[in-house]
């Protein structure tokens, strides 16, 4: 048996590896506080789960549900984009449903990248952007996101020789992992840049409705003419607390949507119809509950920002996303710090380099656990700083 080189050369998905490490610690009796994964811990509202249940009782809804997403779901996506962003979409040509946006992010590369083509990838960034490009035989080229630029890329610094080979430019705001946001002025520049260099601008927007302090995140499609050059990925995972359901959408350029759909329809057979119907309910129902849900995350954000300085760490106050991007104390790499932290205290934070080399010096703290667990994590961090040689045995369940 000989595994393909593209798989033997492939690093394990960082979050899959971490869950093994954390399971081992738990089996040893460590009370792990996992602030690693951005999977919402809160439930979707009852009208969404009720819609799923009702549809699942219908015997006619258990077959293959078609390829592009049921019309009810694509119409609901169009409704949502109209209400939320004032963007008009043609459900037939400008929307395709995804089995979670990760699926579409990966498959988009198969639709656009030929051997040797370049995909421009934000670094640090969500790992699947680069992975898709690699699997399609292309070359991911990092575009650094630096603190001094507000974690926005300096597009004009990308060398001409790279731009000549580039087909895709990935952008993601509100950003994972840095939690930075981008305004419409930057998005307008990015659309102009994509047009100038004949790039498909891939805008990943799953955190657009996880926002704080009154901030409202834009869509790339609000930029006039963006549909000529841009495709936007969105997801119900974070907005509606539905990460395990696997529902997302790609919207925008009809050419890009059609190319992605052509790849997808040859690979998968769509989503369970009751999930699509419930997703349509999520997108079209009254959205005012999101304010309370976001207040929950905002309170968690504030707890984290409160305890970080005493732990020798600094972070900017994020206006959106599920994360705080914090500088690690000086003197060790982020990987060394997060390993020492988890071994000594059972608190897991994702090292910034899991998202690319420019993540060095940072850890990502996910706001996906309850307030009392965040406070407990803060206590443990402070204790680690106070006595750096703390043994892990002191953090056992009996604590």
Ligand X SMILES: Cc1ncc(COP(=O)(O)O)c(C=O)c1O
Provide the binding-site residues for ligand X, judged by CB under 6 A. Answer: 38, 100-102, 126, 172, 176, 204, 206, 235, 237, 243, 248
Nearer to ligand X, 34 or 395 (CB): 34
Tell the smallest beta-carbon distance from residue 239 to ligand X (Å): 10
Distances in Å between the alpha carbon of 82 and those of 2, 88, 287, 385? 50, 6, 13, 49
What is residue 30's DSSP assignment? B
* 30 CB neighbour count, 10 Å cutoff: 20
Exposed / middle / buried, residue 269 (Cβ in 10 Å: 0-12, 13-18, 19+): exposed
Between 38 and 346, whose beta carbon lies closer to ligand X?
A: 38
Q: Which is nearer to ligand X, 204 or 209 (CB)?
A: 204
ω into 312 cis (within 30 of 0)? no
Rounded to whole angstroms, the Cα distance separating 160 from 224 reads 26
Least distance to ligand X, CB of residue 176, Å: 4
* 178 Ramachandran zone, left/alpha/beta (phi>0; psi -120 to 50): alpha
Q: How far is the CB of 248 from ligand X (least distance, A)?
A: 4
The least distance separating ligand X from the CB of residue 193, rounded to whole angstroms, comes to 20
Residue 18 or 176: which CB sits closer to ligand X?
Answer: 176
* Closest CB to ligand X among residues 239, 395: 239
DSSP one-letter code for 114: P
As measured in angstroms, the least distance from the Cβ of 100 to ligand X is 3
CB closer to ligand X, 237 vs 276: 237
Instruction: Region of 274 please: left (phi>0), alpha (psi -120 to 50) or beta.
Output: alpha
Q: How near is the Cβ of 49 to ligand X at its closest, in Å?
A: 18
**Residue 191: its H or E element:** helix 184-196
């Amino acid at each position: 048996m000989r595994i393909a080189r593209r798989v033997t050369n492939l690093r394990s998905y960082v979050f899959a590896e971490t869950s093994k490490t954390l399971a081992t610690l738990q089996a040893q009796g460590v009370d792990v506080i996992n602030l690693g994964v951005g999977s919402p811990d809160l439930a979707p509202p009852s009208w969404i789960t009720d819609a799923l249940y009702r549809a699942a009782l219908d015997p006619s809804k258990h077959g293959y549900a078609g390829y592009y997403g049921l019309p009810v779901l694509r119409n609901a996506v169009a409704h949502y984009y109209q209400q939320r962003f004032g963007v008009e979409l043609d459900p037939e040509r400008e929307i395709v449903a995804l089995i979670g946006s990760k699926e579409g992010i990966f498959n988009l590369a198969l639709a656009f990248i030929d051997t040797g083509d370049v995909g421009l990838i934000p670094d640090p960034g969500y790992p699947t952007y680069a992975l898709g490009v690699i699997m399609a035989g292309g070359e991911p080229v990092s575009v650094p996101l630096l603190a001094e630029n507000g974690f926005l890329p300096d597009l004009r610094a990308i060398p001409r020789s790279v731009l000549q080979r580039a087909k895709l430019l990935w952008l993601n705001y509100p950003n994972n992992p840095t939690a930075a946001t981008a305004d419409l002025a930057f998005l307008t520049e990015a659309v102009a840049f994509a047009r100038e260099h004949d790039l498909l601008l891939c805008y990943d927007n799953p955190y657009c409705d996880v926002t704080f302090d009154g901030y409202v995140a834009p869509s790339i499609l609000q930029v006039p003419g963006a549909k000529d050059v841009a495709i936007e990925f969105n997801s119900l995972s974070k907005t509606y607390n539905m990460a395990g359901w696997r529902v997302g959408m790609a919207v925008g350029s009809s050419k890009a949507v059609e190319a992605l759909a052509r790849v997808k329809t040859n690979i998968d057979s769509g989503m369970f119809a009751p999930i699509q119907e419930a997703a349509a309910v999520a997108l079209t129902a009254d959205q005012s509950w999101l304010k309370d849900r976001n207040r929950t995350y905002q309170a968690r954000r504030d707890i984290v920002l409160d305890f970080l300085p005493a732990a020798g760490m600094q972070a900017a106050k994020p206006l959106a996303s599920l994360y705080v991007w914090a500088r690690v104390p000086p003197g060790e790499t982020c990987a060394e710090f997060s390993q020492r932290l988890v071994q000594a205290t059972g608190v897991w934070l994702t090292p910034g380099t899991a998202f690319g080399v420019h993540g060095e010096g940072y850890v990502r703290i996910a706001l996906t656990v309850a307030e009392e667990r965040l406070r407990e994590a803060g206590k443990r961090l402070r204790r680690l700083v106070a006595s750096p040689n703390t043994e892990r045995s002191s953090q056992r369940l009996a604590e």
